[in-house]
Structure 1
Amino acid sequence: MSSTRRHHRWAALAAGVTTLALAVAGCGGSSGSAEGGSSSGTGNEKVELTVTTFGTMGFDKLYAQYEAAHPNVTIKASNIDTGDNALTDWKTKQAAGSGLPDVQAVEEGWLGQVMKVSSSFTDLREHGADAIKDRWVPWKLAQGTDPEGRIIGYGTDIGPEGLCYNRTLFKQAGLPTDRDEVATLFGGDQASWAKYFEVGKQYHDKTGKAFYDQSGFVWNAMVNQQPVGYYTPDDKLNIEGNATLRGLWDQLGTAASQGLSANQSQWDWGKGKAFTDGSFATFVCPGWMLGVVKGQVSSGGGDAKTGWDFADVFPGGAANWGGSFLTVPKTSKHPAEAAALADWMTQPAQQAAAFAAAGVFPSGVQAQSDPGVTGTNELSTFFNDAPLGTILAKRAQGVVAQHKGPQDSVIQSQVFGPAIKEIDKGVPAAQAWDDAIKLLNQVVNS
Structure 2
Amino acid sequence: MKLSRRTTVAAAVAATASFALLATGCSASGSDAGSSSNPITLTVTTFGTMGFDKLYSQYEKEHPGITIKATNIDTGDNALTDWQTKEAAGSGLPDVQAVEEGWLSKVMQVSDQFNDLKDYGANDIKSRWVDWKLKQATDKNGRIIGYGTDIGPEGLCYNGKLFAAAGLPSDRDSVAKLFGGANATWDDYFKVGEQYKAATGKAFYDQSGFIWNAMVNQQPEGYYTKDGKLNIQNNSTLKSLWSKLAAGAAAGLSSNQTQWDWGKGKAFTDGSFATFVCPGWMLGVVQGQVKAGGGDASTGWDFANVFPGGAANWGGSFLTVPKQSKHPKEAAALAAWLTTAKSQVATFQAAGTFPSVTAAQSDPGVTGASDLTKFFNNAPVGQILAERAKGVVAQYKGPDDSVIQSQVFGPSVQQLDSGKANGDQAWANAMKLLDQLVVNK
Shift of 1:41: 2.4
Query: What is the match of residue 355 of structure 1?
Result: 348
* Uncovered stretches (5+) of structure 1, i.e. residues with no partner: 1-30
Alpha-carbon deviation of 1:443? 1.0
Post-superposition offset of 1:239: 0.3
In the alignment, does 2:87 pair up with 1:94? yes
The equivalent residue for 1:242 is 235
Aligned to 2:431, which of 421, 432, 437? 437
Contact persistence 1:39–1:336 (CA under 8 A): no
- Listed one character per residue, the Cα deviations across residues 12-61 of structure 1 (whole Å, up to 9, x for unaligned) are xxxxxxxxxxxxxxxxxxx9968x97552233332221111111210001
CA distance in 2, matches of 1:33, 1:140: 22
Matching residue of 1:346: 339
**Separation in 2, partners of 1:328, 1:297:** 35
* 1:279 aligned residue: 272
In the other structure, the counterpart of 1:398 is 391
Partners of 2:359 and 2:169 in 1: CA distance: 35
* 2:408 match: secondary structure: helix
Q: Which amino acid aligns with 1:433?
A: W
In structure 2, the residue matched to 1:296 is: 289
Aligned to 2:115: 122
Query: What residue identity is the alignment partner of 1:175?
Result: L
User: Paired residue for 2:163?
Assistant: 170
- Cα RMSD between the aligned structures? 1.4
- What is the CA distance between 1:445 and its match in structure 2? 3.3
Contact map agreement 2:47 2:76 (CA 8 A) in 1 = yes
Deviation per residue, 1:267-305 (Å, 9 max, x gap): 111111111111111000011111111111111111111
Which 4+ residue blocks in structure 1 deviate beyond 6 angstroms? Answer: 31-34
Q: Report what 2:248 is aligned to.
A: 255
% identity of equivalent residues: 70
- The aligned counterpart of 1:219 is 212
> CA separation in 1, counterparts of 2:148 and 2:18?
18
In the TM superposition, residue 123 of structure 1 has moved relative to its aligned partner by 0.4
197, 207, 216: which one aligns with 1:204:
197
* Cα distance in 2 between the residues matched to 1:32 and 1:353: 26
Shift in alpha-carbon separation, 1:32–1:101, aligned structure 2, 3 A: farther
Give yes or no for the alignment of 1:60 onto 2:45: no
* Distance in 2 separating the partners of 1:32 and 1:398: 37
**Larger RCO (alpha carbons 8 Å, 6+ apart):** 1
For residue 248 of structure 1, give the secondary structure of its aligned residue in structure 2.
helix
- Number of matched residues? 415
> Structure 2: which 5+ residue stretches go unaligned?
1-16
**Which deviates the most, 76-85 or 113-122?**
76-85
Work out the CA distance in 1 between the residues paired with 2:361 and 2:288: 23
Equivalent position SS for 1:322: coil
Q: Does 1:131 align with 2:116?
A: no
- Say which SS state the counterpart of residue 149 (structure 2) adopts: strand
Select the structure of larger CA radius of gyration: 2
Work out which of the residue numbers 293, 318, 336 in structure 2 matches 1:325. 318
Matched, 1:41 2:35: no
Cα separation, 1, equivalents of 2:292 and 2:117: 40
Cα contact 2:102–2:401 (8 A) shared by 1: yes
Give the TM-score of the pair, scaled to structure 1.
0.91
Which residue type is aligned with residue 312 of structure 2? Answer: A
Inter-partner Cα distance in structure 2 for 1:231 and 1:148: 21
The structure-2 alpha-carbon separation of the partners of 1:39 and 1:148, relative to structure 1 and needing over 3 Å to count, comes to farther
